[in-house]
Amino acid sequence: MRILFILKIIHLAIGPTLPVFCIFLGIHQVAIYEFIRRGKSDGFLSSLIYAMAVSYIPLGALGTFLGICEGFKAMSGLDLNGMLYNLFRGTQHAMYSSVVGIIFTLLSYLEDVILDLRILTNQQEE
């Protein structure tokens, strides 16, 4: 249910790049629920910063790679206008991937705090 809701929000915000962000959602879920659970944190803020770093760095790297591939798609000819347009679209991929990684992290933290799961916050019951 949560994944479908997030995918609908992404589809409304971004549009035709929905398959790319389905891949991003999978990477984010792996990063959050595997790496963060194993990490030790001193408090809520430090674990939030760590979660953002672990989730949006791979997303940004994947978005940048997709952007470079998009930019050099028109490299076969001497079409400079097409190449600049594709590089601009590639920059959009890189920016969107980092922003989506941060948004996914914040949504995961809200879910963790509201439902009192304590997966990401690593707080012990008192």
Low-confidence ranges of the chain (pLDDT < 70): 1-21, 23-25, 27-29, 31-47, 49, 51-57, 59, 67, 70-71, 73-80, 119-126
CB neighbours of residue 81 within 10 Å = 8
pTM: 0.52
Dig out the tokens for 51 from the structure: 């979660």
What pLDDT is stored for residue 78 in this prediction? Answer: 66
SS3 string, 18-45, reads HHHHHHHHHHHHHHHHHHHHHCCCCCHH
pLDDT for the residue 1: 45
Domain extent listing, the chain: 24-33+44-121
Give me the pLDDT at residue 55, please: 67
Q: Are 87 and 75 in contact (CB under 8 A)?
A: no
- H-assigned helices in the chain: 2-14, 18-30, 37-38, 44-71, 80-114
Tell me the HSE value of 9 on the side-chain side, using a 13 A CA sphere.
Answer: 11
Q: Which pLDDT score is estimated for 70?
A: 67
pLDDT score of 90: 72
Q: What is the pLDDT of residues 40-68, one digit of tens each?
A: 556 666 667 676 666 666 767 777 777 67
Query: What is Dmax (Cα atoms) for the chain?
Result: 67
